[in-house]
C-alpha cells in the first residue's frame, strides 16, 4: 500500500513538472500528424532489433497500422508483430483532438491488459512527442515518452523513453518505412 501511495505521489510531481512546461497543441497539429501517419496504405514496418531466427515465436518486424476516420477526428492505430508471413495484432490505440481541453489525447490497450493514456504535442514542425502513463496489470504505473520524427514522406523515426531513477532512459528506437497494402502478411491473428 505504501508503495502505491509513493507511486501516486511521484506521478503527481512528474505531472506538475511537465505541466509547468505548458505543452501546446492544436487541431492543425492533430491533422498534420494524423494525415502523415495514415497517408498511403497507413501501414508502417520496422525490423525487430531483437529478432531471433532460431525462435519460431520471435517477430521479424513490427507494424503500425493507422486509419484516420470519423471526419478526421479519430486516428486509430493497431500495433502488430510479423512472424513469417503472419501478423499478430498486439494492441489498439487511438488519438483524438479533444475540443474541450484543446489537446491531442492518446489511449492504448494491449492484449495483455496494459493501459496507456497520455497526450501528444509538437516540439517543431516535424517532431511530435507523446508523454504518457502506462498502467501495468500488477498495479504499477510508469511514466514514459515517445518521440516521433517525420524524416520523409515514407519514413519516420521513433524512440521510446521511460522515466526511471529521476532521469529519462531510452528503451527502444525504430526506423519505420511506409509499406504498400498487403505487404508482409497473409492473415491476421490475435493472441
pLDDT tens per residue, range 106-133: 999 999 999 999 999 999 999 999 999 9
* pLDDT at site 5: 39
Query: Beta strand pairing status for 167-178 and 43-47?
Result: antiparallel
Q: CATH classification of 2-50+57-190 is 2.40.50.100, yes or no?
A: no
| Cell 503500425 -> residue | 64
pLDDT tens per residue, range 72-89: 999 999 999 998 778 899
Q: Which three cell numbers stand for residue 122?
A: 509538437
Taking a C-beta distance cutoff of 8 angstroms, is the pair 183, 80 a contact? Answer: no
CA angle 122, 178, 67 (to 5 degrees): 65
Nearest Cα residue to 43 out of 82, 73, 77, 70 = 77
* pLDDT at site 123: 95
Q: Which three cell numbers stand for residue 84?
A: 513469417
* pLDDT at site 69: 94
pLDDT tens per residue, range 54-113: 998 899 999 999 999 999 999 999 999 998 778 899 999 999 999 999 999 999 999 999
Q: What is the pTM of this model?
A: 0.83
* pLDDT at site 15: 44
Q: Which three cell numbers stand for residue 154?
A: 515514407
Instruction: Report the alpha-carbon distance of residue 50 to residue 60 in Å, rounded.
Output: 8
Q: What is the residue-wise DSSP string for 55-74?
A: -TTS-SEEEEEEEEETTTTE
Instruction: Report the alpha-carbon distance of residue 72 to residue 109 in Å, rounded.
Output: 21
What 3-state class would DSSP assign to 112? coil
Amino acid at each position: 500500500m505504501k508503495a502505491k501511495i509513493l507511486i501516486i505521489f511521484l506521478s503527481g510531481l512528474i505531472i506538475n513538472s511537465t505541466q509547468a512546461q505548458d505543452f501546446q497543441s492544436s487541431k492543425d497539429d492533430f491533422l498534420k500528424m494524423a494525415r502523415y501517419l495514415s497517408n498511403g496504405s497507413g501501414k508502417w514496418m520496422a525490423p525487430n532489433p531483437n529478432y531471433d531466427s532460431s525462435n519460431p515465436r520471435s517477430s521479424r518486424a513490427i507494424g503500425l497500422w493507422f486509419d484516420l476516420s470519423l471526419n478526421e477526428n479519430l486516428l486509430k492505430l493497431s500495433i502488430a508483430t510479423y512472424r513469417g508471413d503472419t501478423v499478430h495484432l498486439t494492441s489498439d490505440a487511438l488519438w483524438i483532438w479533444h475540443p474541450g481541453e484543446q489537446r491531442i489525447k492518446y489511449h492504448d490497450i494491449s492484449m495483455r491488459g496494459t493501459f496507456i493514456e497520455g497526450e501528444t504535442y509538437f516540439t517543431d514542425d516535424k517532431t511530435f512527442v507523446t508523454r504518457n502513463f502506462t498502467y501495468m496489470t500488477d498495479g504499477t504505473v510508469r511514466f514514459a515518452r515517445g518521440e516521433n520524427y517525420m524524416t520523409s514522406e515514407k519514413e519516420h523515426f521513433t524512440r521510446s523513453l521511460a522515466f526511471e531513477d529521476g532521469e529519462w532512459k531510452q528503451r527502444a528506437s525504430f526506423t519505420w518505412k511506409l509499406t504498400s497494402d498487403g505487404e508482409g502478411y497473409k492473415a491476421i491473428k490475435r493472441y
